[in-house]
Amino acid sequence: MVGLTVFVGLIGVGTGVIAWRQSATEITIAGKLGSEPEILMNMYKDLILADRPNYKVTVKPNFGGTTFLFNALKADQIDIYPEFTGTVLQTLVKTNTKTNLDPAKTYTTAKTALQQQFKMLI
């Protein structure tokens, strides 16, 4: 099962990494501690339900830290969690490049690394 995966870059550009399950009708959105992740989780829920009102979307706030959430995502225990693009580049993927100050280039670097290393699509 491939989960729906979303990372959101909050350093000047928004990103959404998506690997969509073809038969998904239940989606679990989890997040870190704090108000920003909770706002984003509920925004994702509202957007999904606006497009797919028959889906069941569960929100799990304060679910854990970066490594815990990413491992849960890879293990298909959750489908979405919001993440900073900088965290993706500095913690989750292996890259030999410095984080670029240009938001579009940073997004592209994160997108490419996630696709190549984890088969996650933006």
DSSP category for residue 102? S
- Over range 16-34, report the average pLDDT: 73
**Adjacent-strand bridge partners of 30:** 60
Residue 104 has pLDDT above 60, yes or no: yes
Residue 6 has pLDDT above 80, yes or no: no
Residue 16 has pLDDT above 50, yes or no: no
Long-range contacts, stretch 90-96, CB < 8 angstroms, 24+ apart: 91/66, 91/67, 92/66, 93/117, 93/118
Domain-located, residue 59: yes
Domain-located, residue 8: no
In this prediction, residue 119 carries a pLDDT of: 86
Residue 68 has pLDDT above 90, yes or no: yes
Domain-located, residue 4: no
Q: Which residues contact 98 (CB under 8 A, 6 or more apart)?
A: none
In this prediction, residue 25 carries a pLDDT of: 87
Phi/psi of residue 101, each to 5°? -80, -15
pTM metric for this prediction: 0.76
CATH number at residue 66: 3.40.190.10
Domain-located, residue 14: no
Domain-located, residue 57: yes
